[in-house]
Amino acid sequence: MWLLPPLASEHTGRKCLVLDLDETLVHSSFKIIPNPDFIVPVEIDNQYHNVYVLKRPGVDEFMRKMGEIYEIVVFTASLSKYADPVLDMLDIHKVVTHRLFRESCFNHKGTYVKDLSQLGRDLTQTLILDNSPASYIFHTSNAVPVSTWFSDPHDTELTDLVAFLEDLTGVDDVTLILDSTIDPGLPT
């Protein structure tokens, strides 16, 4: 059984872009952050706790542009009770087609791994944008590594990736490009 339903007709011919959530698109904290972009109440053990969320610079425009050219899947190792409300507020352009959470990850030696082979998409047409190399350890040739983001207001990584990701929509097999241009063992 695949993690995703069959490709919707409006995404025919599009590649699948899998996006990590935490420290890739947003940074969240239970501690008060000055000027959060939004605050999400999360229930833990019958008590509500506020989660303070900062959006990575450029994320709104990045999501809008990627949503025009890719099937967008957010795949997070976080729990849905936290990640779902965050995505409700983050996805202002309504481009996220599918959401996958911790229960869809594979527990490999105590690490939550995102097994792209379980998505039901052609791996030559699937790429993952993630700050944690451990989460895509099974599919390093599908990965576009990004730096871990906490709060740098001058970060431009998402904006800088747009042209590269636009170019990838035109290649026959993303693994041939990603495998040869990015060494997953090195920080970017």
Angle at 165 between CA 167 and CA 68, to 5 degrees: 95
38 vs 26: CA distance, rounded Å? 11
Residues contacting 67, CB < 8 A, separation 6+: 93, 94, 95, 96
Q: pLDDT for 43-71, tens place per residue?
A: 888 999 999 999 999 999 999 999 999 99
Cα–Cα distances in angstroms (integers) from residue 122 to residues 5, 19, 63, in the given order: 13, 16, 22
Q: Which domain holds residue 140?
A: 12-29+57-181
pTM of the full structure: 0.93
- Specify if 42 maps to a domain: no
- Specify if 173 maps to a domain: yes
Q: How many domains does the chain have?
A: 1
Strand arrangement, sheet containing 143-145: 96-100, 70-75, 15-19, 126-130, 143-145
- Specify if 49 maps to a domain: no
Provide the CATH number for the domain around residue 62: 3.40.50.1000
- Specify if 4 maps to a domain: no
Q: What DSSP string runs through 59-84? A: HHHHHHHHHHHEEEEEE-SS-HHHHH
Do the beta carbons of residue 40 and residue 89 sit within 8 Å?
yes
- Specify if 7 maps to a domain: no
Q: pLDDT for 99-108, tens place per residue?
A: 999 999 999 9
* Residues designated catalytic: 20, 22
pLDDT in tens, the chain (188 residues): 999 999 999 999 999 999 999 999 999 999 999 899 999 999 888 999 999 999 999 999 999 999 999 999 999 999 999 999 999 999 999 999 999 999 999 999 999 999 999 999 999 999 999 999 999 999 999 999 999 999 999 999 999 999 999 999 999 999 999 975 545 444 44
Listed residue (90, 108, 110) closest to 99, CA to CA: 90
